[in-house]
A and B are shown apart, each in its own frame.
Chain A
C-alpha cells in the first residue's frame, strides 16, 4: 500500500510542475476539437434557421428546415456540450488526481471512437432526409433504424467514459483513505453519475422500444411511455451541462479573479442535491400531455422547483466571492467594488456574463415549471428563447471562457494579449447576438408563434404579421452569432496549434485560509447514488406503471416528412 501512495503523490507533483502529460492532453484536445467543430457546423445551421424564420431565406428541397433543425439540435446539445464536458473533466481528473491511469486512458479512447462512430451512423440518415425527427425523435415518427443504432453507440461511449472516470476516482480514493476528493473531481463524479443515470432511460427507450418497432418485430409502440423515458434523459442532459458550467463558477473563476473559493462544504452541498434531484425534473416537459394525471404533474412541479434551491444558493455564493475578492483588492462602497474585477480578461468576462444570464434564465425556468404558466408558452418560441439563454449563454459562454485557458494548458501554449482581446470581442458579439435573438424569441412566443416551424404566415393570417419584426430580429441575432462562432472556433484552433509555446496553469482556487474543515460525510457517494435512485423511483414508478397498465393499443411507425 505505502509505495503506491508515494508514487501517486509523486506523480501528482510532477503533474503540477510539468503540466499535463502528453497522452492525457491528447485525449482532452481531441474531445475539445470535436466540440468546437460541432459548434461551427451547428452555428452555421442555426444561421440558416434564423434567416428562414425571418422570412429572407428559402431552403432548397434537398436541405429542408426540419433536417437542418434536427442536425442543429444534435450538434449543439448532444455533441458540443457532451464532448466539451468530457474533455474538460478528463483534463480536470488528470490534473487533480495525479494523471490518468493507463487503463482509464484506454477507456477514454474507446469511448471517443464509440461516440464518433455512433454520431456518423446517426448523421448519415439525417443527411439523406431519413431521420428528420428532431433530437427528441418522438414516436410514432420513425426514422431509419440506422439513426437509432447510432444513438446506441453514443450511449455506450458515454458509459465507457463514465466508468473510466469512476475507475480513476476509485483508485485515488483507495490511495487517499479519509481524504476529500479534490473539488473538481467531486463535480466530475456527480456529472458522470448523472450521465449514466440519464442515458439509462434513453437506452431503455431506444433499445427495448424503438429499435424492435422500427425493425418491424413489434407493430405498436407506447407513445407516452417513450416520451417520458426520453425526457428523463433529455432534461437531465441539459442539467448536466449546467452542472459542468457551475463547477467552473465555483472552482475556476475565483482563482482567475485572484480570490478564494466559496465554502467547500456549501459547494459540495450544492452538488449533492443537484445529483440526487435532477432526473425527476423530466416531467416538466410533459405538463400539457394527456395520460398523466394532474396530481402527478403537481408533484412534479415540486420536483422541478426543488433544483431551483441549489441554484439560488449558487447565485449568492458567486456574488459573495466577487465582492470579497474585490474588497480584498481595495474595492469600496456598496456597489463600487465591481470596478476591481478583471473585466478585460476573457477568462472572467465570458463566464461572468454567463452567470448574469442565469438570472433571467432561472426565472424563466421557474415560471415554465409551474403548470398553468407552462401552458401559456409550451412549444412556442418562448421556450426556444429560454434554452438559448440557459444553454446558449449560461452554459456555452462558460465553456468559451474555459477554452481560453484550458486549450493552451493542454497544448502547452499561452493566451497572448491579442488573443485575449479577440476573446473579449467574441464575448461581446455573442452576447449581443444572443440577447437580441433570445428576447425576440421570448416575446414572439408569448404572441403564440410556435417553435420547430419553418417560415409561415398560415395563409396570410393577420395575426402572424405582428410576429414579423421579432422574427427579423431573430435573423439579425443569428447573423451576429455566426460571426461570434467563427471568432471562437478560430481562437480555439489557434490556441491548440499556433499560439506561442509556454506554460499555462490549470486555475483551481484554494479555500480561504483558516476555513472550516469539511466533514467526511460529503464523500459518501454510495449514499448519494442510493438517494438518487429512491427519488427517481418515487417520481417515476407510479406514473410508468400506470402508463404500461393503462396503455392504449400501440401506434405503428410513420414517416411524415
Chain B
C-alpha cells in the first residue's frame, strides 16, 4: 500500500497524541489520585433514611481542616442545605439519592458527580478561597430541577 511520508508522520503524531492523553490521564488518576468519582458501595434506595450514615445527614469534623459531609439528594433539594467550612479545609462528600438520578456539581470547583439511587457516591475537594459556592443539580430530575441548588460557605 502506498502511503506518503507526510501521511505516515501525521498518523504517527495522531497515534502519539492519543497515547499522550492516555498516559496523562493514567498518571493523574494513579499517581495523583485524581480519578473520577467511582465509589462502588450500594444501599437500599427505599431505606435511605434508616441506613447509616444517611440516617444522620450533616457535616462532621474528622480531622484538622478535614470534614465529612453526609448528604442525601431528593427532588428538588439537598440535605443538609447550607454547609459552612473554614478556608483551607478538605471536604469529603458521601452522597446518595432517595429517588431519581441527580447530579452534584459545585461551580468553580472540580466537584462533579452523578448521584444515583441504590449507589453511594464519594468525592472530595479542598476549598482554599473563601466565598459562597453554588451547589447545583446537573442531571434533569423533574419539574423543579432548575430550582435544585444550595450553597457552601467558605469562611
* Bound: A313/B132 CA distance, A: 47
Within A121-164, which residues are at the interface with B (CB < 8 Å)? 132, 134, 138, 140-141
* Bound: A309/B18 CA distance, A: 8
Question: Which listed residue, B100, B118, B134, B147, touches A558 by the CB 8 Å rule?
Answer: B100
Interface residue? A265 (CB, 8 A): yes
Interface residue? A8 (CB, 8 A): no
A290 and B112 contact, CB distance less than 8 A: no
* Bound: A553/B28 CA distance, A: 34
Interface residue? B115 (CB, 8 A): yes
A516 and B1 contact, CB distance less than 8 A: yes
- In angstroms, how far is the closest chain A Cβ from the Cβ of B144? 8
A555 and B117 contact, CB distance less than 8 A: yes
Q: Name B111's closest neighbour in chain A (CB-CB).
A: A375
Query: Chain A residues near B151 (CB, 8 Å)?
Result: 461
Q: A138-B101, A375-B110, A560-B100 are in contact. Are A293 and B38 (CB under 8 A)?
A: yes
* Bound: A554/B47 CA distance, A: 12
Question: Which listed residue, B25, B138, B147, touches A450 by the CB 8 Å rule?
Answer: B138
Interface residue? B120 (CB, 8 A): yes
Q: A306-B18, A459-B149 are in contact. Are A450 and B105 (CB under 8 A)?
A: yes
- In angstroms, how far is the closest chain A Cβ from the Cβ of B103? 5
Within B1-59, which residues are at the interface with A (CB < 8 Å)? 1-3, 7, 10-11, 14-15, 17-18, 21-22, 24-26, 28-29, 34-40, 42-46
Interface residue? A378 (CB, 8 A): yes
Question: Which listed residue, A294, A316, A560, touches B36 by the CB 8 Å rule?
Answer: A294
Q: Chain B 59-88, CB within 8 Å of chain A: the 1/0 string?
A: 000000000000000010000000000000
Query: Chain A residues near B146 (CB, 8 Å)?
Result: 65, 453-456
Q: A316-B11, A372-B35 are in contact. Are A556 and B112 (CB under 8 A)?
A: no
* Band of interface residues on A: 35 or more
Interface residue? B145 (CB, 8 A): yes
Query: Chain B residues near A286 (CB, 8 Å)?
Result: 114
Interface residue? A374 (CB, 8 A): yes
- In angstroms, how far is the closest chain B Cβ from the Cβ of A395? 22
A291 and B116 contact, CB distance less than 8 A: yes
Q: Name A317's closest neighbour in chain B (CB-CB).
A: B7
Q: A290-B113, A452-B140 are in contact. Are A316 and B42 (CB under 8 A)?
A: no
Interface residue? A527 (CB, 8 A): no
- In angstroms, how far is the closest chain A Cβ from the Cβ of B134? 5
B118 and A552 contact, CB distance less than 8 A: yes
A371 and B36 contact, CB distance less than 8 A: yes
A64 and B116 contact, CB distance less than 8 A: no
B143 and A64 contact, CB distance less than 8 A: yes
Q: Name A550's closest neighbour in chain B (CB-CB).
A: B42
B35 and A453 contact, CB distance less than 8 A: no
B1 and A140 contact, CB distance less than 8 A: no
A376 and B110 contact, CB distance less than 8 A: yes
A560 and B37 contact, CB distance less than 8 A: no
Within A508-561, which residues are at the interface with B (CB < 8 Å)? 516, 550-556, 558, 560-561
Query: Chain B residues near A316 (CB, 8 Å)?
Result: 7, 10-11
Residue among A134, A312, A366 with most chain B CB within 10 A: A312
Q: A293-B40, A455-B146 are in contact. Are A552 and B45 (CB under 8 A)?
A: yes
B7 and A320 contact, CB distance less than 8 A: yes
A309 and B15 contact, CB distance less than 8 A: yes
Residues of A within 8 A of B (CB): 64-66, 132, 134, 138, 140-141, 222-224, 227, 263, 265-266, 286-294, 297-298, 301-302, 305-306, 308-309, 312-313, 316, 320, 366, 369-372, 374-376, 378-380, 447-448, 450-456, 458-459, 461-464, 516, 550-556, 558, 560-561
The 8 closest A-B pairs by CB, nearest first: A560-B142, A448-B107, A552-B118, A552-B42, A450-B138, A312-B14, A456-B146, A290-B119
